[in-house]
Structure 1
C-alpha cells in the first residue's frame, strides 16, 4: 500500500503517487453496502419471517421485518384473488428491498441532493413486467405524486424508477458476482490489505499516549498527555474543562521531537468504583538523576472527575541511566495484580553489566514486574505475589515476572471471545527493536524474551545467543525495519459493534504509520498477518467516517464496552497539539441494532463542558450524484511491504517530496509550552524521518583552508542555513560524522562555540539533517562538560570506534539569541 503523509502527517492514499503510477495501476470501483440509516448491514439476531431472503445479512432486524410484513398485509387487503396471485410477490419484493445490503443504493439514499425513493430502483425488464401486471398497486406502495402521474405511461414510469447504473438495479444486483462476493466480510485488496475506516473521537491533544476507562459503569474515558495532564471525556465525547490530573510540574519531559520521557502510563484499580485508586507511571528528575516513578493516587471525595493531588504515594522508583527506553506501561491483569513494564535503561545494545540489564534478574530494568497493591493503606505499599517466579531465586528481584525485554511500548490484556472466553487473560506486548526487527510477544510467567541475545527471531549478541541456558521464548510475530522502526502494541478486538474483527490483534508502527493485524489460526497456532489500509473509493463514505490519520501512531486503547481506538499525532513532540484519537470502524458489517446498547451511569459534573467538534474529513472521495457503471476491475498494483515497487531514483523523489512537506509542517506548527520540568534528552527511542541535504562543499562552498584536527562543520540543511546542520568533524586527516549516543546540549554547546555562535539551541538526533553516508562515523558516546574548546577534548570512544549507523548522525541548531528562528 502506498501511503502519503500530508503537511501535518496524516496517512492517506497519495493523489500524487496515484498519478505517478497511473500507467499500470487502475483502482477498481469500490463496493459500498449501506443501509437506509447510513450504516453498514448486519446479521439479524433472530430469523426474518417476511423478508427471509435477507435472513443472513442485510439491513433489517426482526422488528423491521414485522413492520414490513404489516405494511404488506395492509396493501394486499385491497386485492382480489387475481391481484393477490399476480402481484403479492412483486409487493413483497419491493417492500423487502429496504432490507437489502444495498438499500441505500436502491433508494438513492447516498446522494444528499436527491430525495429518498419510495420504490427502489428497478431494472427495465423487471419494471416492465411489474407495470403490465400490477400498476394498480403503485398508489398503495407509494405516495409519490410524480410516480402517480407517470403511472399511465409504461416508458415514463420505468424511466422514473430506473437507476443510472444498471448494475445496481433490482433484481440484477442479486446475481452480480462483483457486488455479492465476500459480502459481509472485511474487505481486502488483492494483496490482502484489510480496508477499515475511522471515526474521530478527540483532537487538539499534545502527544496523547494513553486512553483508559475506569470500569465503573460511567463509560467515561481518560486521555493522558505526555506533559502530565489527564483529561476526562464523557460518553458523548464532550471534554471537561478542568483536568482530571495535572502533574506537569513534576513530570520530566521536553518539547524536542522523539523525547520519550514524560507521563507514560495510567491505569485504574479493578475496584476503583469502591476504593477510588489509580496508578500512574512517569519520568522525574531527582537531583542529577533521572528516574521512572510509579505512584498511587485517589480520586477527590468531593469531585468524581478530579484526582486528589495530595494523595500521591510513590509505590516504586527506578534509576534510569539514559533518557530513552523508559518503558511506560502500567496495567492490571485478570489476576488483580499490577503489572509494570520497564525499558532496559537506554542507549544502544543494553551495554550495562556483563549481560545487560534485561538479562540481569537483580535489576528492575528490561523487565515485566508484578506486584500486589491491594490492602496497602497500612503497612508496605506493595507486596510480592507468592507465585511470582523468582521469589526464591538468590539475587533475583522478587518483583520480576518476566525478563529479557528491550522497551515494551504498549501492552494489553485480552478480554477473551465474547461467547467462549477463549484467549481471556493473555497479555500482548509490542517490544521495540534495535537495528533490524520489531516484535509482538505474549507475556508468560517466568519467561525470558531474549534481549539482548536476540532481536526478533535473529541473534543480536552472538555470544549470548549461543548460550544453551538462554531458554528464551520467541515472539509471535516480528517485522523488519523496512516496514517500520518502532512498534506500538495494540489490542485483540473483543468489542460488540464489529463482529468481523473479533479475535484480531490490531497494532501499529510509530515511525512508518503502518497499521497491522494478526489473527490466530486455531488449528496451527500460527498468527496470520494482514496489513490494514484505510478504505479506498466509497468504502468509508458513511456519515462521520474518515479514511486518513496522522502518521505517528502513539498508542491504542479500549473503551469500557471493548471498542478499539488509537492515538496518533502529526508532530511527535510533547507540546504539539496535533494529537487525535480515532475509533476503528469496520464498514463491511456491524452488530444488529440494539445488541450493543448500554446505559452509562450518571456522572455528576462540576466543571464546564467543552463540546467535541470534529476537524478531520474524508479525503480523496467526491461523493457522486450518479453511479459510475461497474466494469471488470483491473487488479491494482500494490507493492508488497518487503518488495521494491519503484526504482531507487523514484524512492528518492518520493522521499524528497515527503521531506519537503515535513519542512513545511515544522514551519507552520506553533505551540505554547506548558509549565513542565524540562531537560534535553540524552537519547531517544524513536527516530525522526530522514531529511536530505547537501554538504556545503558539494554546493561550491569548500573550506578556504586545510582544516585542523578537531575542526567542525555543519551540513545537510536543505535551506543552506549556516546555524544548523549535521555535525561533521575533521580527525585523523578525514571528515566524518558523530553518533548521537549520549548527544546533548552540552555537546552541542561546544560545537556551536567552535563555529562562533553564542548559544546551542538544540542537540538534534537521528539524522534530522540527513545521513552522512559518504563519510565514516568518527565519534561515539561523546560526553562534554560544555566548556571544552573542541569536541575532541570531550570524553569519547576511540576515533572511528562506534556501534552506530548513519541514521543516528548527530546535529545542532546554533544561534546568537536563545530561541530557535524557524
Structure 2
C-alpha cells in the first residue's frame, strides 16, 4: 500500500496553492468600461427579422420570424427549434441583396396564451404587390387566416413591417412609403395608408360598404371624424420605420410605460429616432430627420414632431435598426436607456435622456476572456433586429448573408453580462479553468512529496 509523509514545509505550500486556487475560482475578470457578451441561442435561420416571447403548451418559447415566410418556435428550456407557421407559399421574395419583401413582422395578441391569435405583416402578390396584414389562429397543425388590410405598394422597397400592440390594446401598424428609392412619396397624402402609422381595434369588426371588415377603427383615432382622412391613420409622415417598441416602463415607478419608440431609416442624409404620438406628422418627404428637403412645404407641416435624435451617414451608421428601452436587470447601466443599432456594421448604441437632449454612446462587445465559456459567440455582420425577452433582456438577430433563400446564415444571440457582472456561472469560466489547473499542480506536488512505504494489511 502507498503511504505519504507530509512535511511542515509541504503543508504550508499546499495551503498556499489551495487558497490561491479558491480565490481565483471566485474572482472575475475586470473590464475596461462596460461591455456585453453574446450567447448564441439559434442558428441556420433565413434572415430572422423579429422575435417575441410567449408560453405555448405550458412551455416558454420564442417565436422567430424568417423573411422567407416561416415563424419558428424556439423552446427556451430544450432549445429545440420547430416551424410554427409556414407562409412561404404566400409571401413574395426573391434572392437578391436589397430584397425588402417577404414576411416582415408579426405581433402576438395580448391574450395569445388563451386565444392563439397572432398578426403578420407580409408582402404578397395578387397580380401586383400588396402589404398584407393578417390575423392567424392556429389549431393543431392547421391555421385559419383572415386578411385585415391589403395595401398596394408602388415599389419593392421601403415596405415597413412593424406590428405591435399598445398598452391600449390596439394594434399599431407601421407602413412604409413604398417609394422604392425616390423621394416621391404618399407619406403626406391623407387619403393613402402609405408612409403612415395605423391603429386598429382587432377585437371588433365592422360592416363597410356592405362588406365585413375584420377590425374596427377606434373612436379615439385622430382623424376619425374628418372625411378627408383615412380613419385608420394614427400618425403620418414616416419613410420606412424599421423596428419599433413599446416601453414596458420602470418597474418601480411606471415611468415611460406605453411610450412607442421607432427607428426611421433615412434616404441620403439622416437616420432618426421618433416617439410616436397621436396625430403627429414626422415630416417625410418634406423633411428628412432635421433637414428640410422642401423649403416651401416644410412650413406647411401641421402637428410636426421632430426626432428625438438624428445622425448622419457620415457618423458610420448606414441604416437604423430600432430597439427597446432597456428594462432588464443584467445591465444596470442601461436601465431606462433606448437601445438601437446599425444594420450595416452590426454596432449597438444607447440614447440617454439627459433632460435637455438625448445623448448617444456606443455599446462595446467584451473580449472573450471576460465572458463565460458559453458566451463567446462572434456576431455576424448584418443586424436585422433587436429582440426583447419576457424579463426585458435583449437579443440580437443577425446574418452574414441577407440573400436568405440561398443561404441560412442567420442567428439569434442573447446579450449576457461579463463575468464580473454575473452572480452565477452556468459553465466553466477562465477562473474556473485556472482553479482546476492549480489543483492539478498542487496534487502533483503532493504526490512528489509522497514517500513510498510498505505495510501489511490484516
State the distance in 2 between where 1:402 and 1:564 align.
28
1:453 to 286, 289, 292: 286
**Hey, which of these two has a bigger chunk of strand by percent?**
2
State the distance in 1 between where 2:37 and 2:397 align.
14
Distance change in 2, residues 1:453/1:544 (3 Å): same
Contact 1:508–1:553 (Cα < 8 Å) also in 2: yes
Between 1 and 2, higher relative CO (CA 8 Å, sep ≥ 6) is seen in: 2
- Equivalent position SS for 1:214: strand
Q: Match for residue 429 of structure 1?
A: 262
Contact 2:177–2:194 (Cα < 8 Å) also in 1: yes
Structure 2 residue 40 is matched with structure 1 residue 200: yes
Q: Deviations over 1:502-524 (max 9, x none)?
A: 21222111112221111223xx2
5+ residue gaps, structure 2, are 436-458
Matches within 5 A, 1:75-94: none
Q: CA deviation at 1:529?
A: 1.5
State the distance in 1 between where 2:190 and 2:20 align.
70
Q: Deviations over 1:51-97 (max 9, x none)?
A: xxxxxxxxxxxxxxxxxxxxxxxxxxxxxxxxxxxxxxxxxxxxxxx
Distance change in 2, residues 1:469/1:205 (3 Å): closer
Q: Deviations over 1:395-431 (max 9, x none)?
A: 1111111111100001111111122221111111110
Distance change in 2, residues 1:588/1:431 (3 Å): farther
Contact 1:344–1:350 (Cα < 8 Å) also in 2: no
1:480 to 299, 312, 324: 312
1:212 to 52, 75, 86: 52
Higher CA-based Rg: 1
- Equivalent position SS for 1:273: helix
5+ residue gaps, structure 1, are 1-144, 174-178, 594-617, 627-822
State the distance in 1 between where 2:431 and 2:129 align.
52
Q: Match for residue 494 of structure 1?
A: 327
Structure 2 residue 421 is matched with structure 1 residue 580: no
Q: Match for residue 67 of structure 2?
A: 226
State the distance in 2 between where 1:341 and 1:149 align.
76
Q: CA deviation at 1:559?
A: 2.3
1:249 to 84, 89, 103: 89
- Equivalent position SS for 2:275: strand
- Equivalent position SS for 1:538: helix
TM-score under structure 1 length normalisation: 0.48
Distance change in 2, residues 1:209/1:152 (3 Å): same
Contact 2:24–2:434 (Cα < 8 Å) also in 1: no
Contact 1:208–1:225 (Cα < 8 Å) also in 2: yes
Q: Match for residue 563 of structure 1?
A: 393
Matches within 5 A, 1:113-124: none
Q: CA deviation at 1:525?
A: 4.9
Q: CA deviation at 1:623?
A: 11
Q: CA deviation at 1:337?
A: 0.3
Matches within 5 A, 1:387-426: 387-426=220-259
Q: Match for residue 365 of structure 2?
A: 534
Distance change in 2, residues 1:344/1:365 (3 Å): same
Contact 2:351–2:358 (Cα < 8 Å) also in 1: yes
**Hey, which of these two has a bigger chunk of helix by percent?**
1
- Equivalent position SS for 1:245: strand
State the distance in 1 between where 2:235 and 2:352 align.
24
Q: CA deviation at 1:546?
A: 1.8
Q: CA deviation at 1:563?
A: 2.1
Distance change in 2, residues 1:469/1:572 (3 Å): closer
Q: Deviations over 1:312-340 (max 9, x none)?
A: 11100001001001100111111100010
Distance change in 2, residues 1:547/1:457 (3 Å): farther
2:135 to 290, 296, 305: 296
Aligned residues: 420
Distance change in 2, residues 1:470/1:258 (3 Å): same
Distance change in 2, residues 1:276/1:159 (3 Å): closer
Contact 1:552–1:570 (Cα < 8 Å) also in 2: yes
Q: Match for residue 272 of structure 1?
A: 112
TM-score under structure 2 length normalisation: 0.84
